[in-house]
Chain A
Amino acid sequence: MKALIQKELRENLKLAMLGLIVFSAILALNIHTYSHWMKSVAAGGQGQREVEMMQPLISGGFWKLSGILCAIFGFILGWFQIHNERQRDLWAFLMHRPATRTQVFFGKILAGLMLNILVTGLPLTGYLIWALAPGHIAAPFEWAMLRPVAVFSISGIVYYFAGMLTGLRQARWYASRALGLGTAVIVSMVIMVVPHFWQALAVILLSVGILATAVWGGFHSNGYYRGQPVPGKPALIAALMPGCALVFGIATIFLIEVLLETHESASSYYRMNKDGTIYKITPRKEGWDPEIADLEGKPLVDPKTGSAPKWAEFDQHKCYEDRIWPSFNNRANAYRDTWFNNSCNRITFWRETADEFWFYCNRIGRLAGYDKKTRQFIGSLGPDGFSKDLTGNGDHFDRAGYYEPLQGVVLRGACTIYQPFPEHREVKALFTVTNENCEAVMLATNSSDRIIGAVNEIWLNGYDWNYTIVVTRCYVHLLAPDGKELWRAEPAYPEYNHVAVACLESNNQFALWTSPSRQAQNKSGGKLPEHVTWLDRDGRVLKSIDLPDLSYHPLKFDRERKLRGLAMPPALFVIFPLFEGTPWPSAIPWMWLKFSLVTALICIPIGWWLGCRYNLSLPARLGWAAFHLGFGIPGLLTFLSVQEWPAREACPNCKKLRTVDREKCEHCGADFAPTERNGTEVFEPLATVK
């Protein structure tokens, strides 16, 4: 095996070197771009300030690029390792040696994995060494930030095996050789949406296991399905099925979107103008102005022209509105996000001073400062003030643990809204929730649930901080910049969990919108209205109305959904809720499943008929029937692309067509007739030559 590994390493070294140069050059360019940008920022340069630019490790560009490069290199290497030797005689030269196929397989993949590590691991390690060295990146670092790039680099191995499978497979339908690539693409998508990091690793491990077994089986059968060892066949089916599902899914979407021209109609919504008037807006098809009507449904007419006002003109009167979804549950239950988003959203850019960047560390709950010029850590700020280390003896603001949009003025604690002053290394308490302004405080103080559900700053002209909205368990508070409470209003929790505050600048008033939660609305069948209350600056209620909730749309099973349901594999509906963490089986979308089962039930007799026609054994036919039940049309496509369909010829005994790959006729049990003699045969017994 050592000889094989050495041969593979030498054979593919040129390709690996090319990959190494390309990958290293791209990462070097990334370092150069960041350093150049930081230098211009330190010199007082303006421009965009996004956390992704400040911490390249969590930038989408970085992990996408790494992932794409690892995938491309993995696929090409895998395909090349087989394709190099796939010419008939070279393959024979390789395979006809005193080594098992398993040894040849391991020789190839061990060398391939070494080259993969060399090409992707070496530049990435270099990059990380640079990124982790103090003075290079002026932003906080957490090990969890490396998870996306680590996972996407590892997923290159899935592409590597997909490439090998593509090179190895002998398929009647040439395009079906690349179906393994579809599987790798699906793995890349799935690893981004699973809730936990370990699930992403498990998906990669599982897919690598399946694809590697399929490739191993292919080595034993020279790429054919027939003649594979027992684990190879199910692995090949499992490796190709997601690819079939992807191809069929794309075809179905194309059919639905392009040929049927079914576009989901946009729903109506409310719009409040600066004078507090509410209009109902109904979007129309692209290029047309939306329909504007008052609450009684009368279309708005411009008194000057007598016709509908121009949308651009109407839009200028839109009031400032801030929408909030307060969350009072503890952190673990409050927000369920994917591991991927959790890894990327470890820090939030909070504010920039003349010489410093300040980041909010979501997990620690403190502000971390970095010097723009030296790119060194300065210290951190918590409710108790400045600390030279990041943890500050555990003193922290509310630890969101997930991304929250911050505008760089206030932060919330358990019961208090704080205003940090990073230039002075100080923090001031702006507003505190007490028993006086929230009777639930005493109840909640000892629990892990939150008292303050949300806090938002209102910047009316974009530069001046005008107000702060604080949503507690009892009230929605509007604060002035000095912390003085302007008014408070009582929303109808818990059914009404969506709060919006509108600033009506024309008449110095406010409007408070409260809307029902999705769950409550679904429970009521869409009967819960939206509440709108107009308040003056002192909190006096001027007017209050209820409006039908326009955002509520019960799930309708239209033609498009039915078609999508028909195209989806039934197993997907059964498995998918597991990823979402919702209790099974209540989370199964039964309506979708019903439609999906229709096609699956049609596929079963087709598969059965083909199985009979090509004389598959009864266990094989039963196995395929179960597979078709689980995977519907994609399952049938997998069946068609995996199986080799032998020729059929008439049995001389019973005259029925029989498959040529069986020793006896499946209909009458007769042997194949010996070759017909034409009188020119010359046969004689041959003796051993001594």
Chain B
Amino acid sequence: MNEQPVIRTRGLTRYFGNKPAVYDLNLEVPRGSVFAFLGRNGSGKTTTIRMLLGLLQPTRGGGTILGYDIRFLPPEARARIGYLTEEHQLYGWMSVGECGEFQSRFYPRWNEKIFRGVIGHFNLKPSARVKDLSRGERAGLCLGLTLAPEPELLILDDPALGLDPVAHRSLIESMIYLTRRSDRTIFFSSHQLADVERVADYIAVLDRSVLRVCCSLETFRNSVRQMRLRFPGAPPPVPQISGLLQAFRAEGELRLTCIHYNGATEQALRALSPSQMEMVPLSLEDAFISYLGERGEKSFILAETEAQP
């Protein structure tokens, strides 16, 4: 198998006006992986995807996708990349069948069975008009159109955005069971961390336009730790700790979320002389929210909150 990453960017940057939407992105997506691209709204995920597909010019920097320069993707490269847009927009006047026919005429490797399978999974009739479909049904149709050409690389931009739980589950099932193939790479952005947890091998996190995390799911989960420290009275002030993400102060309790928890961190915490110190298990969602949430200290001690202006 080719060991070259399917997506590689070097200093990829895009400004809108004076504001950087994506800044100095250096990313490598390994072949055959399911790669989740995470971040808060407006962090630059869609901009990155649009730059990767040559739909938006980078302000500077560049990259390759399947070995092709992202600024000049030839048709043969596009034939190998399936792209599912976040809004699932299609031509409203077309029927489901016509959408398939239109798409199939561009792809020599079009697999009608896959298309029928996906739209069947979503209970879509070929004669139904796109404009009459629900958002979930449209997402299913888009997925069918994206998967039927049997792309080598799938780029899914928040595929579950706006879907109800049932449609969401259908889409994820399709993604897992129909797309997973040893030689296929899936690069998807999402806010559904449960999905990420189920399917992703690797994650990358954009925080305010800057890539801060690029690792396996496990590494990230292990890097973010939450410690609960109990005190007989009001907890002491939070000391300067390297990698501290969040601190919650409550009556008799101090809860600290840190990244890169190590011996030095533990030593610093023990120096506070807590009556009890324990590690709280974190889900990916908890870790992610702690990582991208508001940094700093929050107090839930009544006297302290009242004293605040």
Contact = CB atoms under 8 A, between A and B. Distances in A.
Interface of A: 2-3, 7, 10-11, 87-93, 95-100, 221-222, 224, 226-227, 646-647, 660-663, 672, 674-675, 678-684, 686-690
A688 B75 contact: no
Nearest to A671: B11
B242 interface: yes
B56 A679 contact: no
Interface string B234-273: 0000000011010000000000000110000000000000
Contact of B85 (A2, A11, A89, A680): A89
Contact of B75 (A99, A679, A680): A99
A680 B30 contact: no
A680 B33 contact: no
Closest 10 CB pairs of A and B: A89-B85, A98-B79, A3-B105, A98-B75, A89-B89, A689-B32, A647-B18, A89-B87, A227-B57, A684-B215
A224 B14 CA distance: 14
Nearest to B53: A96
A93 B15 CA distance: 23
Contacts of B24: 672, 674-675
B212 interface: yes
Interface string B89-109: 111010000000011011100
Given A663-B61, A689-B201, 14 more contacts: A3-B102, A11-B93, A89-B87, A92-B53, A224-B57, A227-B57, A647-B15, A660-B20, A663-B11, A680-B243, A680-B245, A680-B260, A686-B5, A688-B33
Nearest to B291: A680
B212 A93 contact: no
A98 to B, nearest CB: 4
B308 to A, nearest CB: 26
6 contacts: A88-B87, A93-B90, A227-B71, A661-B60, A688-B1, A688-B31
Contacts of B213: 681-683
B215 A7 contact: no
Contacts, number: 142
Interface in B53-103: 53, 55-57, 59-61, 71, 74-76, 78-79, 81, 83, 85-91, 93, 102-103
B147 interface: no
Contacts of B172: none
B30 A686 contact: yes
Nearest to B49: A92
A646 B58 CA distance: 12
Contact of B214 (A87, A98, A100, A686): A686
Given A3-B106, A100-B75, A690 B85 contact: no
B107 A682 contact: no
A221 B201 CA distance: 34
A689 B31 contact: yes
B214 A680 contact: no
A88 B158 CA distance: 14
Contact of A686 (B28, B86, B106): B28
A525 B74 CA distance: 70
Contact of B215 (A3, A683, A689): A683
Interface in B147-198: 182
Interface stretch (B116-124, B216-224, B275-283, B297-305): B216-224
Given A2-B105, A7-B91, A684 B17 contact: no
B202 interface: yes
User: Contact size class for B?
Assistant: 35 or more
A662 B60 contact: yes
Contacts of B50: 92
In this complex, the member of A91, A222, A679, A686 whose beta carbon has the largest number of chain B beta carbons within 10 angstroms is A686
Nearest to B107: A98
B37 interface: no
Given A93-B85, A93-B89, A663-B60, A686 B202 contact: yes
Contacts of B202: 686
A92 B30 contact: no
Contact of A660 (B56, B60, B79, B214): B60
A90 B215 contact: no
Contacts of A663: 11, 60-61
A222 B50 CA distance: 11
A257 B78 CA distance: 57
A687 B33 CA distance: 9
A96 B214 contact: no
B115 interface: no
A686 B243 contact: no
A680 B244 CA distance: 8
B65 to A, nearest CB: 12
Contacts of A661: 15, 59-60
A10 to B, nearest CB: 7
B3 interface: yes
A90 B90 contact: yes
A687 B55 contact: no
A92 B90 CA distance: 10
B71 to A, nearest CB: 7
B15 A98 contact: no
Nearest to B258: A680
In this complex, the member of A92, A646, A690 whose beta carbon has the largest number of chain B beta carbons within 10 angstroms is A92
A690 B1 contact: yes
A686 B215 contact: yes
B35 to A, nearest CB: 8
A425 B202 CA distance: 100
B88 to A, nearest CB: 7
A12 B19 CA distance: 38
B22 to A, nearest CB: 11
